[in-house]
Amino acid sequence: MSIGVEDEFREIEGGHWNVFHQEIQRLSSDLSFNHAKLPENKGRNRYRDVSPFDHSRICLRSGTNDYINASLIFTEEAKRRYILTQGPLPATCGHFWEMVWEQRSRGVVMLNRIIELGSVKCTQYWPPPEIKELLFRDAGFRLTLISEDVKAYCIVRQLELENLKTRETREILHFHYTAWPDYGVPSSPDSFLFFLMKVRESGCMMGDQGPIVVHCSAGIGRSGVFCLVDTCLLLMCTRKDPLSVCVRDVLLEMRQYRMGLVQTAQQLRFSYLAIIEGAKALLRNTSVQEAMKDLSDEEDVPLMFTTPLRPSSQPSSPPPRPPKRIGMGSQDSRATFNPYPRAGEAVIGYDYSCSPDPEPYGRARHDVTFTSPVDPPMVTPTPVSTHCSLTGLRLHTVADQAAAHLQKRTDRKVEASASLFTSVYMCAALAVGAYICYRAHFH
C-alpha cells in the first residue's frame, strides 16, 4: 500500500480535515481574475465567487468576446492537461462546444446531475435520445447523439460535433458520472476509480489529443477531485519511488491554475481514499485498469472512438496567452440556447428555503429551482425529506388558519342571531305594553 499517502491520511484522520483544508486554502495562490469581473462577462459566470485566473483562462477565438469560465490546468511532471470549466448556462452552451472544438478536445467528463436538491446545476448541452440532434447557431456547430451506454454508475455517450462553416466532423466521448450523491461524497471510491479508468482507456487523455474537458457545477469541487486523483496515480506510475508523491503539493500546484480546487474537507478526504485504493493496485505490480475492472460485476468493453485517434495536426498548445481584445459592448450577440425546443416554458417552483446548498460559494442568479422540469435522460434525484416535512407543516398551518377563520365566521353568526332575537323580543314587549295601556285607558 501507499505508505506515504496512507500515513498522511491517518495523521489527518484524527479529526483535523477541516484544519488541513483551511491550511491549503491559506497557501493557495491569490492571482488576478480581472476579465471575469468585466460587465460584459458577468452574465457568463454561473457563480459570483468562481472565476478563472487571467493567466490560465481559456480564450475563445471566434466572435467579439473571448471569455468563457474555463481554465487550462497543466501539471508539468505528469504531462497532463485538463480544461476545468463550470456547467454550461443556457446562453453559454454554444461557447462550450466552440471551446471543445478550438482546443481539439476529444473527451468531456461530467461529474454532476442536471438537477440536484431541486436546483438546476447545469444546462443540458447535449441532445437527449428523443431529439438526437442540437443546432448551436450562435457558435456554428451541430451536435448529434450517436449512442448512449447507460451503466449503474455512469453514462457514456458518443457524440458527433460538426463545424457548420467547414463541414468537418469530430467524434466526442461524453463521460457522465452519475453516482456522486447530492450530499457529501460517495461512500466508497470504487465506482469513481472505475469511472476514471474508463476515461483513461478511451484515449481521451493521451498526449496527442487536446486537453480533456472536466466540469461539475462550478468546475472546482468534484472536477478538482477528478484531476487530483488522476494526476497523483499517474505520478505514482512514473516515479521511481511512488511513495514520494505528496498529495498536498500536487493540489497546491493545480490551484495555481484555477481557484478553489477540491473545495471542501470532505472532498479532500475522499481524494486521499481514492488515491490510496488506486495505489494498492499499482504497488502490486498490476495494471490499474485490470484492478479496477474487478470492482465492477458488469461485463464491460472499453468504449473507443469508431475512427482511430490520430495526432493533432497542430502541436500541443501551451497555456492560453492573454487575450488581445475584449468585446466592448455589454450585450452578447450570441443567441440563447434552449435545450428543449419542444417543451413548454411554464414551471412550478419548489420551495427549498431550508435545504442546504451543496456549493460552498454564493449561489448566483443563474441557479433556478424547479419542481417539474423537462426531465433529462437521467434519473432526477428525489426531493429530500426536509422538503416533505416542511410541506406538511405548511399544509397543517393552512388548515389551522382555515378552521380558525370558519370558527370566527360561526361566532359572528351566533352573535348576530342573538342580537336579532333580543331586538324582536324588545319590540314584542313594547307592543304588548302599549296594548295593555290602551285597554286600561279606554275601558
The pLDDT tens digits for 242-282 are 888 999 999 999 999 999 999 999 999 999 999 999 988 76
pLDDT digits (tens, 9 = 90+) for 55-87: 999 999 988 899 999 999 999 999 999 999 999
Catalytic residue, chosen from 59, 93, 154, 216, is 216
Q: Given a cut of 90, is residue 146 above it in pLDDT?
A: yes
| Closest C-alpha to 38, from 367, 332, 429 | 332
With 0-12 / 13-18 / 19 or more C-beta atoms within 10 angstroms meaning exposed / middle / buried, residue 5 is buried
Q: Is the pTM of this model over 0.85?
A: no
423 annotated among ligand-binding-site residues: no
224 annotated among ligand-binding-site residues: no
Q: How far apart are CA 430 and CA 433, in angstroms?
A: 5
220 annotated among ligand-binding-site residues: yes
Taking residues 127-154, what's their average pLDDT? 96
State yes or no: is 216 an active-site residue.
Answer: yes
219 annotated among ligand-binding-site residues: yes
Q: Given a cut of 80, is residue 385 above it in pLDDT?
A: no
263 annotated among ligand-binding-site residues: yes
At 412, is the secondary structure helix, strand, or coil? helix
Confidence band (pLDDT; 50, 70, 90) for 200?
very high
pLDDT given at position 4: 80
Confidence band (pLDDT; 50, 70, 90) for 434?
confident
Confidence band (pLDDT; 50, 70, 90) for 290?
low
Q: Given a cut of 80, is residue 225 above it in pLDDT?
A: yes
At 234, is the secondary structure helix, strand, or coil? helix
- The β-bridge relationship of strands 119-120 and 133-136 is unpaired
Q: Which of 97-111, 155-169, 390-404 has the lowest mean pLDDT?
A: 390-404
Q: What is the DSSP letter of 221?
A: S
Taking residues 422-427, what's their average pLDDT? 72
pLDDT given at position 285: 57
Q: Given a cut of 70, is residue 89 above it in pLDDT?
A: yes
pLDDT given at position 321: 40
217 annotated among ligand-binding-site residues: yes
Residue 80 grid coordinates: 497532463
pLDDT digits (tens, 9 = 90+) for 31-47: 999 999 999 999 999 99
342 annotated among ligand-binding-site residues: no
Confidence band (pLDDT; 50, 70, 90) for 183?
confident
pLDDT given at position 421: 65
For residue 374, what are the CA distances in angstroms to 133, 298, 341, 426? 17, 30, 11, 69
